[in-house]
Amino acid sequence: MESYPPVFRHLTGTASPPPAPSSSSVRIPVVDLESLSLEKLGEACKEWGVFRLLNHGIPPTLLAKLEEQVKVLFSLSFHSKQTLSYFWGTPVPVPVLTPSHSRDAALPLCFNWLEGINVPLTQLPHFHSHHPMLEDFRHSLEEYGRHLSRIATSLFEAMVKNLNLCPKQSESSLDESTGFIRLYRYPPRTSVDEACGMMEHTDSSLLSIVNQDQVGGLEIFKDNKWLLVNPISDTLLVHAISDDRYTSVKHRVRVKQQEERLSICYFVFPAKGSVVRSSTYKPFTYSDFQKQVQNDTNTLGYKLGLQTFKLTT
């Protein structure tokens, strides 16, 4: 309990309410990296914007080790975690209604019920710690990052073929040096109807690769309804976006009453100075896009994203 942010502690459930009815998992598309089908990959990206990746080549022992290390890392005291690139809750003010329950009066209705740690992969070689666990964790992340870079490059090259993009134009579209890992922990909460684990949003990355534990809670929005994506062992979830031809899937995380949830997410972006060109959008650099997203979230509480750059007819 002492490892949680102070504002979370009195709202984290310790009782044992009856288990909620189990929800069936939506059957999202499956893509096999070992025998990659361009047709299946294209259909998944166009119709869903998310797919389950099989045969990704990451050793199960590494995934299991990382999950245990992430648990230990988050179990450190709240004070100790301040020395890391640590954050918790909602990063920007969100214009929402105030909850009716007085004990939650200090929190907005859609307050993100999570804590996280950012890990830019390019900075890992310079990360050294006298703490044995953190040093071992660094080595695990370096190995994991090499696998993620390999996976992202393979998928991106296949997407370039699917979209018939000019190879020269796409050379700088995915920059491996931008890749970073974000660790998330979602504490349990007695009342789950008053807070999101993570508010609904779309990612700003070119590719997002998610490794979630077996607790579940991830939902995607499709056909005007929210669908639960239950975890399956030894698989990764991939989100991909491109112009208006691939879907940027809207998603959120729901908190659990009895269990905390952990996820390890990898994000990779285009080169900051690369110019994005499209028949439906004004040319812009990825730096322009990032600045616009930051401005949107600071002034509106949410991001408009690509809509800002869309050509008017």
Among candidate residues 133, 115, 168, 192, the one with its CA nearest the CA of residue 274: 168
Indicate whether 169 pLDDT > 90: no
Rounded-to-10 torsion of CA 188, 135, 147, 30: -10
Higher pLDDT, 310 or 184: 184
All structural domains of the chain, each given as residue ranges with its CATH number in brackets, are 6-271 (2.60.120.330), 275-313 (no CATH)
Q: Which two tokens mark 204?
A: 């700003």
Report pLDDT for 201: 85
Indicate whether 24 pLDDT > 90: no
Is the Cα torsion angle 96, 100, 105, 107 positive or negative in sign? negative
Question: Span 243-247, mean pLDDT?
Answer: 78
Q: State the pLDDT confidence band at 15, using cuts at 50, 70 and 90.
A: very low
Please give the Cα distance from 186 to 207 (Å, whole number).
Answer: 23
Higher pLDDT, 11 or 103: 11
Indicate whether 62 pLDDT > 90: yes
Summarize pLDDT for 272-285 with one digit per residue, the tens.
888 877 778 888 88
Instruction: Check residue 67 and report its DSSP letter.
Output: H
Report pLDDT for 107: 46
Encoded amino acid at 303, one letter: K
pTM over 0.75: yes
Q: State the pLDDT confidence band at 109, using cuts at 50, 70 and 90.
A: very low
Higher pLDDT, 163 or 240: 163
Report pLDDT for 125: 81
User: Are the beta carbons of 78 and 12 closer than 8 angstroms?
Assistant: no
Q: State the pLDDT confidence band at 104, using cuts at 50, 70 and 90.
A: very low
Q: State the pLDDT confidence band at 293, using cuts at 50, 70 and 90.
A: confident
Q: Which two tokens mark 145?
A: 């990052």
- The DSSP code sequence of 154-221 is HHHHHHHHHTT--HHHHTTTSEEEEEEEEEEEE---S--SS-EEEEEE---SSEEEEEE-SS--EEEE
Indicate whether 191 pLDDT > 90: no
